C-alpha cells in the first residue's frame, strides 16, 4: 500500500498584521523584524474565530481539490498546539463541522513539527489498513498564546491552517509512483525548556504563554533540520541532489538560508512563505506546500521533502513523490 496525496488546501484569517502595526504594540521596527527573520506580515484570527474554524476551511479546500466529500474519508488528524479546548480534540470538532458521523478523529501534539509527525502517523495507518482516506490538518491560533509584551517572541508568529487529503492505494493494482516514500521523526526532551508554554491544565490550570530562548533554538534548528533531511533521504535511497522541492517549516528566513547552504540546495528550490505568514507552527508546512502547488511550482511527479523543527525539541522530515 502507498499513501498518496490526492488534495491540498489552506486557509488564512482575513486580518493582515504588518510589522508597522506590530511596532505600535511592542518596541520594534519593520527593519529589525525583516533583517532578523524575513517576516513582513502575519495573519491574526478574528475574535470568535477558533483553530477548528481555520482547520475546517483548510479541510474543505483539500476535499474540494481532491473532488471528494466528507463521506469519502474515514480519518481526521489535526496537528495543533493551540486546540479550541483542552478536550475534546479539535479534530472531533472539525469532524462535526464537516458533517462526518463515521470514522475517527484525533489530535497530535508535536508543536511546529506536528504536521511531519502527522504525516508519519497517517502514512503508517494508511499503509497498514488502519484507514482508507485521511485528512491531515495543521491548524493554529498562536496569537492566543503569545505574550504581547515580549517583543522577542510576539513578532515571530501568526495564525493559519493547511490540510492534505491522503489516500491508501494498492500499488500492485494501480501501479502508482506517487506517494509518501519515507518519514523520519525525532525528539529530545532534554531541551524542552528552550521553547515551551508556561501554562497547562495539570501544572498551572491556565493556558500560559509561549517562552523561547531564540538564539539557542536557532542553533539546534539548523543542525538538526539539516541532519534529519540527510537521514530521511538516505533511508529512502534518494540523493539530496535528486530532490526537486524543499518545503520547510517557516520559522525564520535565516534558518531556511542556513539549512539550504549546508545541504548545497539550488536557489529557488526552497519554498518560502515566512515573509507573509510568519511562523504558523504546525500549519506552516501545508500552507507553504499549498502555495507552491497552486502557483504551479510543485507538479505531479515531483520529489518533495518536507521538514520541521519545534518545541520539545521535536523535529522530522517526510519525503514524497507528489
Question: Which residues of this chain interact with ligand ACO, rule CB under 6 A?
Answer: 28, 32-33, 36-37, 111-112, 151-152, 155, 195, 212, 214-215, 217-218, 221, 251-252, 255, 279, 281, 309-311
Contacts 24+ apart (CB under 8 A), 220-223: 220/191, 220/194, 220/309, 220/313, 221/251, 221/255, 221/309, 221/315, 222/255, 222/258, 222/259, 222/262
Euclidean distance between CA atoms 80 and 286, whole angstroms:
13
Set 19, 112, 232, 277: catalytic member: 112
Closest CB to ligand ACO among residues 134, 283: 283
Task: Establish whether 232 is a catalytic residue.
Answer: no
| Nearest distance from C-beta of residue 133 to ligand ACO, angstroms | 29
Pairing of strands 245-248, 303-310: parallel
Beta bridge partners of 168: 3
Residue nearest to ligand ACO (CB): 214
Euclidean distance between CA atoms 322 and 247, whole angstroms:
12
Euclidean distance between CA atoms 276 and 40, whole angstroms:
6
Beta bridge partners of 270: 246
Set 19, 123, 252, 279: catalytic member: 279
Pairing of strands 15-18, 195-197: unpaired
| Nearest distance from C-beta of residue 77 to ligand ACO, angstroms | 19
| Nearest distance from C-beta of residue 94 to ligand ACO, angstroms | 22
Dump the DSSP string for 47-73. TT--HHHHHHHHHHHHHHHHT--GGG-
Task: Establish whether 112 is a catalytic residue.
Answer: yes
Closest CB to ligand ACO among residues 51, 92: 51
Closest CB to ligand ACO among residues 82, 252: 252
Task: Establish whether 249 is a catalytic residue.
Answer: yes
State the burial class of residue 27 (Cβ atoms within 10 Å of its Cβ: 0-12, 13-18, 19+).
exposed
| Nearest distance from C-beta of residue 180 to ligand ACO, angstroms | 23
Closest CB to ligand ACO among residues 35, 170: 35
| Nearest distance from C-beta of residue 287 to ligand ACO, angstroms | 13
Closest CB to ligand ACO among residues 2, 249: 249
* Residue in this structure with the C-alpha cell 511562523, named with its chain if needed: 279
Structure letter (DSSP) for residue 144: G
Set 191, 209, 249, 277: catalytic member: 249
Q: Which residues are catalytic?
A: 112, 249, 279
Amino acid at each position: 500500500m502507498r499513501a498518496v496525496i490526492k488534495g491540498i488546501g489552506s486557509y488564512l484569517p482575513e486580518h493582515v498584521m504588518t510589522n508597522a502595526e506590530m511596532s505600535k504594540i511592542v518596541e520594534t521596527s519593520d527593519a529589525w523584524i525583516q533583517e532578523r527573520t524575513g517576516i513582513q506580515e502575519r495573519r491574526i484570527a478574528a475574535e470568535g474565530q477558533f483553530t477548528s474554524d481555520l482547520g475546517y476551511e483548510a479541510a474543505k479546500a483539500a476535499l474540494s481539490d481532491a473532488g471528494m466529500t466528507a463521506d469519502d474519508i474515514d480519518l481526521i488528524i489535526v496537528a495543533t498546539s493551540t486546540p479550541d479546548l483542552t478536550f475534546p480534540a479539535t479534530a472531533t470538532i472539525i469532524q462535526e463541522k464537516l458533517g462526518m458521523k463515521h470514522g475517527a478523529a484525533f489530535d497530535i501534539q508535536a508543536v511546529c513539527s506536528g504536521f511531519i509527525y502527522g504525516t508519519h502517523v497517517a502514512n503508517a495507518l494508511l499503509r497498514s489498513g488502519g484507514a482508507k482516506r485521511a485528512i491531515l490538518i495543521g491548524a493554529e491560533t498562536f496569537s492566543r498564546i503569545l505574550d504581547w509584551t515580549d517583543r522577542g517572541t510576539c513578532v515571530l508568529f501568526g495564525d493559519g491552517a493547511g490540510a492534505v487529503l491522503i489516500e491508501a492505494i494498492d500499488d500492485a493494482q494501480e501501479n502508482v509512483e506517487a506517494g509518501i516514500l519515507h518519514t523520519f521523526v525525532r525528539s529530545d526532551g532534554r531541551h524542552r525548556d528552550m521553547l515551551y508554554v508556561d501554562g497547562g491544565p495539570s501544572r498551572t490550570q491556565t493556558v500560559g504563554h509561549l517562552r523561547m530562548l531564540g538564539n539557542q533554538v536557532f542553533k539546534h534548528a539548523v543542525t538538526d533540520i539539516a541532519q534529519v533531511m540527510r537521514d530521511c533521504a538516505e533511508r529512502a535511497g534518494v540523493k539530496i541532489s535528486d530532490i526537486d522541492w524543499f518545503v520547510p517549516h517557516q520559522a525564520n528566513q535565516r534558518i531556511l538560508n542556513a539549512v539550504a547552504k549546508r545541504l548545497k540546495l539550488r536557489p529557488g528550490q526552497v519554498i518560502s512563505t515566512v515573509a507573509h505568514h510568519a511562523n504558523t507552527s504546525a500549519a506552516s508546512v501545508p500552507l507553504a506546500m499549498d502555495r507552491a502547488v497552486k502557483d504551479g511550482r510543485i507538479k505531479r511527479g515531483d520529489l518533495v521533502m518536507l521538514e520541521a523543527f519545534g518545541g520539545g525539541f521535536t523535529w522530522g522530515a517526510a519525503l514524497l513523490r507528489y
